[in-house]
Amino acid sequence: MTGSRPGGTLTLAGVTVARLGLGTMRLTGPGTWDDPTDRVGAVRLLRHAVDSGINHIDTADAYGPHTVEDLIRWALHPYSDDLLIATKVGMVRPAPNVWHPLGRPEYLRAAVEASLRRLAVERIGLCYLHRVDPTVLLADQVGTLAELQQEGKIGAIGLSKVTVDQIEQARATIPIDAVQNVLNLDEPDDPALEHCHDLGIPYIPYRPLNAGRHTGPDGAAKALRHLLDRGPHVAPIPGTSNRGHLDELIAAVTQET
């Protein structure tokens, strides 16, 4: 382990972060909707993660919607300089378990402005396009984020759930600082993984434990170590709402480092 960072470190959006991050989608109610049952427990979990050396917290305005960004502010603000909070915009939530991409430039701009207020920051360290909206030119979607970056409201720009072709389309407009795709033992093949390695782009696997299929200390260790071994640019973001489970995940990536 490098310093006190679980799993070692890599540079993401200009910040040296632990290669084990924390995904926060589980810090909501059922259907990724509304507040968690134990709001105080969620705040304590976020603080415990940071106290344990995790300094990469991944969220989205669609979680709740808006719930988790508020929780992060309550739990962690004012933020330390070495804490990277990444959020995502470009998805609307009309109901529990319902997700629709929305990449119209005016919506993306409004979403970023709202996330800035909820997180209580002047600049989002890393902002992802949550999903590519097939009804809007990708160049217009990432171009809007680039405008916000030039205005100082976004630090780095990422893409989520994208193909190699989409990465290249986006890179024709702006530099891409991170790619977040599904990768786990059951879904191990993503051409974007090697493509990001070749380009020097950090690759952030979400659903690294495949929604809990790889649980328990041994299962989590196997799954997470497998991902970390896929390349030094890989930084998984498992999610949990349980402090004991979080400690298991941290132990899984530190026992051999």
Active-site residues, by number, are 63
Q: What are phi and psi of 22, to 5 degrees?
A: -125, 120
Peptide bond between residue 78 and the one before it cis (omega within 30 degrees of 0): yes
How far apart are alpha carbons 241 and 239 in whole angstroms?
Answer: 7
- Tell me if 9 sits within 8 A of 19, measured CB to CB: yes
Nearest to 247, CA basis, from 225, 210, 221: 221
The C-alpha atoms of residue 235 and residue 165 are separated, in whole angstroms, by 22
Q: How many CB atoms lie within 10 A of CB 180?
A: 26
Query: What is the residue type of 58?
Result: D
How far is the C-alpha of 211 from the C-alpha of 168, rounded, in Å? 29
Alpha-carbon Rg of the chain, whole angstroms?
17
Q: Where are the alpha helices (DSSP H) in the chain?
A: 39-51, 67-76, 105-119, 138-150, 164-171, 191-199, 216-228, 243-254
Can you tell me the distance from the alpha carbon of 141 to that of 136, in angstroms, rounded to the nearest whole number? 7
